[in-house]
């Protein structure tokens, strides 16, 4: 696939007023979500849940793509229509999570490095044949005492760059996600500093690996106060500092940036995105790639009656998509 084709896909992912829904939870993660609402984590229940999400009427009005898990990419609706066909017919690009999760970084207690590069070239070839148009790889940066180390940041950014280069080789747009975790008592200034250092390291690594930024999307965490910080920053402060950090560290050639919700409440994630988009001209579109902040209300509804509550759960998914689509334009109230 040419760089122009990759660039076209990347631009479609951040089309005005549209964002990405992340439904790429591993089987272990979705089991925790199902356990919390009393649903058995069988393959059929996982399939039915994802069908509920992906067949939401008019979802494509506000959703440009969905990140899927390996199992989901291979699944079909109850009527036998592959999920990838349902998505493409509704203008939603299929994406795939390809990393194998964050593991302890040897020699650096408390820090993590994401694994999954072994065999990735062959997996990406198969995913492209199955219909994936973009992929996602998440790195995890923890803030704590003497953390993160330069080694942790460098190891994760190097892996993100290698993954991105392999994606583009396979004709798949890489979404690079260096998540700076909210966990901890740190203030917003500390989060700003770590986020800027991480992003500068990431784009340096992408450059060294000949990754074409025109065909790449950044999935970024917002600059926020730590979850346990007594002094929580306001919506305006989060928006202003996140934007300043991105302008200081992200090249203007990137087609767009989507944010993860990262443990924020549904409303906070939407309010922060909306405030950023009300702050005048930016070098790139700012949109969303939310998981829990798009699904949690719908999962609670659906879990009470998997068939009877289907329409109500889908209405909730649509409402969350619409709210965030408006926030991506700075028009949410």
* Residue 226 CB partners (closer than 8 Å, separation 6+): 143, 182, 183, 184, 185, 186, 187, 190, 191
The one catalytic residue among 219, 236, 240, 282 = 219
* Residue 8 CB partners (closer than 8 Å, separation 6+): none
Is 170 within 8 Å of 125 (Cβ atoms)? yes
Is 287 within 8 Å of 254 (Cβ atoms)? no
Instruction: Say how far apart CA 158 and CA 50 lie, in whole Å.
Output: 32
Q: Active site includes 219? A: yes
The one catalytic residue among 51, 177, 179, 196 = 177
Nearest to 69 by CA among 89, 44, 92, 50: 50
Q: What token pair was written down for 147?
A: 């953390």
Q: Active site includes 227? A: no
Q: Is 44 helix (H, G, I), strand (E, B) or coil?
A: helix
Catalytic positions, written as ranges: 177, 219
């Amino acid at each position: 696939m040419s760089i122009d084709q990759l660039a076209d896909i990347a631009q479609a992912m951040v089309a005005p007023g549209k964002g990405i829904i992340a439904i790429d939870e591993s089987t272990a993660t979705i089991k925790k979500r199902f356990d919390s609402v009393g649903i058995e984590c069988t393959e059929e229940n996982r399939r039915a849940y994802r069908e509920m999400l992906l067949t939401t009427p008019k979802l494509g009005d506000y959703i440009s793509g969905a990140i899927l898990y390996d199992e989901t990419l291979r699944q079909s609706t109850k009527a036998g229509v592959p999920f990838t066909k349902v998505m493409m017919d509704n203008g939603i690009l299929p994406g795939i999570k390809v990393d194998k999760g964050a593991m302890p970084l040897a020699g650096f207690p408390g820090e993590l490095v994401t694994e999954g590069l072994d065999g990735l070239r062959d997996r990406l070839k198969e995913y492209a044949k199955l219909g994936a148009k973009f992929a996602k790889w998440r790195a995890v940066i923890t803030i704590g005492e003497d953390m993160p180390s330069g080694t942790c940041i460098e190891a994760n950014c190097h892996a993100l760059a290698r993954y991105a280069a392999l994606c583009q080789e396979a004709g798949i747009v890489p979404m690079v996600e260096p998540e700076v975790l909210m966990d901890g008592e740190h203030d917003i200034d500390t989060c700003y500093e770590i986020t800027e250092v991480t992003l500068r390291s990431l784009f340096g690594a992408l450059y060294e690996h000949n990754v074409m930024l025109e065909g790449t999307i950044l999935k970024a965490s917002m600059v926020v106060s730590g979850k346990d910080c007594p002094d929580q920053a306001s919506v305006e402060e989060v928006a202003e500092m996140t934007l300043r950090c991105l302008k200081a560290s992200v090249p203007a050639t990137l087609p767009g940036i989507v944010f993860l919700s990262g443990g924020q409440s549904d409303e906070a994630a939407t309010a922060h995105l909306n405030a950023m988009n009300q702050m005048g001209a930016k070098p790139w579109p700012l949109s969303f790639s939310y998981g829990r902040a798009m699904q949690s209300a719908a999962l609670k509804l659906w879990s009470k009656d998997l068939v009877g509550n289907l329409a109500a759960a889908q209405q909730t998914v649509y409402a969350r998509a619409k709210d965030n689509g408006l926030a991506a334009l700075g028009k949410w109230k």
